[in-house]
A and B are shown apart, each in its own frame.
Chain A
Amino acid sequence: MATLQSYLMVTAILFGLGLFVVTTRRNAVGVLMGVELILNAASINFVAFAHFRGNDVAGNMFSIFIIVLAAAEAAVALALVISLFRQFGTIDVEEATTLKG
Chain B
Amino acid sequence: MLKDLVFLGTAVFTIASAATVAFSRNILYSGFALLGTFAGAAVFFILLSSDFVAVTQVLIYVGGVLILVLFAIMLTSKIGDMNITNRSINYKIAIPLLLLFLGMLTQLMSGGSWDFGEEKFQSMVVPIGNGLLTEYLLPFEVISIALLGALVGAVVIVRREIK
Asked if A78 is an interface residue, CB under 8 A from chain B, the answer is yes
Total A-B contacts with CB atoms under 8 angstroms apart: 230
Cα separation A69 to B75 with both chains bound (whole Å) = 23
A-chain residues with CB within 8 Å of residue B88 when the two chains form the complex: 24-26
Asked if B162 is an interface residue, CB under 8 A from chain A, the answer is no
A-chain residues with CB within 8 Å of residue B11 when the two chains form the complex: 6, 10
Q: How large is the interface on A (under 10, 10 to 19, 20 to 34, 35 or more residues)?
A: 35 or more
Q: Known: A16-B102, A47-B48, A83-B157. Contact between A61 and B136, CB under 8 A? A: yes
Q: Known: A40-B41, A61-B131, A76-B150. Contact between A71 and B98, CB under 8 A? A: no
List chain B positions with a Cβ less than 8 A from chain A: 3-4, 7-8, 11, 14-15, 18-19, 21-22, 27, 30-31, 34, 37-38, 41, 44-45, 47-50, 52-53, 56-57, 60-61, 64-65, 68-69, 71-73, 75-77, 85-91, 93-95, 97-98, 101-102, 105-106, 109, 114, 116-117, 119-120, 122, 124, 127-128, 130-132, 135-136, 139, 143, 146-147, 150-151, 153-155, 157-158
Q: When A and B form their complex, which 10 residue pairs have the shortest distance between CB atoms, in order from nearest?
A: A72-B150, A1-B4, A79-B154, A79-B158, A24-B88, A2-B7, A51-B48, A79-B157, A75-B154, A74-B65
